[in-house]
Amino acid sequence: MRVVLISTYELGRQPFGLASPAAWLRESGAEVTCVDLTRTPLSEDTILSADLVAFFLPMHTATRLALPVIDRVRRLNPAAHLAAYGLYAPLNESLLRERGVQTILGPEFEADLSALSRSIEPLRTQSNLPRIIFKIPDRSGLPALEQYARLRMPDGTMRTVGYTEASRGCKHLCRHCPIVPVYEGRFRAVPADVVLADVRAQVAAGARHITFGDPDFFNGVTHGLRIVRELAREHQGVSYDVTIKIEHLIDHAAALPELAATGCAFITSAVESIDDEVLEKLKKGHTRADFERAVTLCRTAGTPLVPTFVTFTPWTTRKSYVDLLDEIDRLDLIEHVAPIQLAIRLLITQGSPLLDLAEIRAVAGPFNPHTLTQPWRHPDPEVDRLQHEIEMLVGGSVNADRSQVFNAVYQLAGTADERGLHRSEPRRARAAVPYLTEPWYC
């Protein structure tokens, strides 16, 4: 059985979503080719010889990029069985089936992909979350780690970055999160020995930093701490980063110094908004005051907090947007915030729990198969124009000086005279904050 696994985008990382199923498929006897289209062109010969072609769809951007590739594969090899797997596959099932995809699997996909390669009979859509016995990912055949995003350290040096997952799913029910409709508040811990073996292999391949891609590393705080303690013991000098909810940073504040001591370079947290009413609508489980407290806790512990935002929602006003910029400045976070975070627009995917809100239904249009969203218009056209202008500005400034980009965004949002406020210069140099060279987050 000749299987081709395709990734179209995984945030500048070597695709875990190819390496993990590759281990299962090769163990079952399949001949596996992994193709990361961000680094390697798709060979016609590879597709023409394939019996099964499976697309990894972990996020919105990856799914949009996959659609024309699916069409191309279908044209080249109409006899091949097409599958899609990952978080966004079941969310877009009807559209994928229209494009000729025969098997749709969710985010717990490894065992079913292996079974599919043995039978090549269409499987029913993965509507539950099967419990799988995790295997160590097989990264052979993928581009070297050096070809992917790197970590820029405070002294200006670059570190090669690896990626793994210590858990899947999430305990929480944030209304806008695509994980929620699939996992419904459940999460699965990956055995520590499997995680550490994957880390070990990547360090041997040159990684000096590991990104843990868990939706929330503190969903299982004891499990997470066990892993990073062992990482620090076995790989001295190798750093890492994690993602943790604001409420967990507060609830488990006593664990933060240990993260710093074991090499945590920074903590990402999906803050989303500083407006308490918006946070309530999104079911984020924290307040503006909680965010401010978390910044202080992380700074005191020596683990910089890197917040992400959904800056433009139907509830955003120009005044609230300026308030967010002022808060970022006041908390000395300008260098912590990737420029793209200043332009993120709320995504309303098909069937999103956001549609439970009357104010969302009032502004959302029908599902658009090109954008894979239900597009929405702000009640105030000026806010939509501001979002577009800022998106154009930061889209070409991904790795530009963050202070300069922030200043430009600040001027677009409104003049200092109009607000009676003059922004101070940032108190930290950019080099003081480690950051990944590909900071996109959706």
Residue 49: DSSP 8-state: T
Choose from 170-179, 323-332, 390-399 the range with maximum mean pLDDT.
323-332
- pLDDT given for residue 422 in this prediction: 45
Q: Using alpha carbons, select from 169, 4, 114 the residue that is nearest to residue 105.
A: 114
In what order do the strands lie in the sheet containing 103-105? 31-36, 2-7, 52-56, 81-85, 103-105
Residue 423 has a pLDDT of 53
Task: Tell me the CB-side half-sphere exposure of residue 414, using CA atoms within 13 A.
Answer: 19
Question: Are the C-beta atoms of 259 and 249 separated by less than 8 Å?
Answer: no
Give the span between the Cα atoms of 68 and 13, in whole angstroms.
Answer: 22
For 90-99, 171-180, 409-418, which range has the lowest pLDDT when averaged over its residues?
409-418
Higher pLDDT, 418 or 327: 327
**Biggest alpha carbon–alpha carbon distance for the chain:** 69
Task: Give the C-alpha separation, 254 to 257, whole Å.
Answer: 7
The two counts, helices (H) then strands (E), for the chain are: 18, 14
Residues 193-219, mean pLDDT to the nearest whole number: 97
| Higher-confidence position of 126 and 4 | 4
pLDDT category, 205, cuts 50, 70, 90? very high
| pLDDT score of 181 | 78
HSE-up of 200 (CA within 13 Å, CB side)? 11
CA–CA dist 84, 67 (Å, integer): 11
Percent of the chain with pLDDT over 70: 93
Residue type, 383: V
Residue 27 above 70 pLDDT? yes
Joined together, the tokens standing for residue 4 give 């081709």
Q: Are 172 and 187 within 8 A, CB to CB?
A: no
The average pLDDT across 399-404 equals 83
Q: b/e map of 214-237 (b: 16 or more CB within 10 Å)?
A: bbbbbbbeebbbebbebbbeebee
Q: What is the mean pLDDT of residues 186-201?
A: 96
pLDDT tens-digit series, residues 246-293: 999 999 999 999 999 999 999 999 999 999 999 999 999 999 999 999
100-157 residue pLDDT tens: 999 999 989 999 999 999 987 666 665 567 788 899 999 999 999 999 999 998 888 9
State yes or no: pLDDT of 426 exceeds 80: no
As a whole number, mean pLDDT of residues 17-42 equals: 97
The kind and range of the H/E element at 32 are: strand 31-36
CB atoms within 10 A of CB 158: 14
For residues 415-421, give the mean pLDDT. Answer: 46
**How far from the centroid of its chain's Cα atoms is residue 174's Cα?**
15
* DSSP state at residue 376: B
The mean pLDDT of the chain is 92
Taking the mean position of all CA atoms in its chain, how far away is CA 274?
Answer: 21
> Tell me: the pLDDT tens digits for 37-87?
999 999 999 999 999 999 999 999 999 999 999 999 999 999 999 999 999
Mean pLDDT of all residues in 200-208? 98
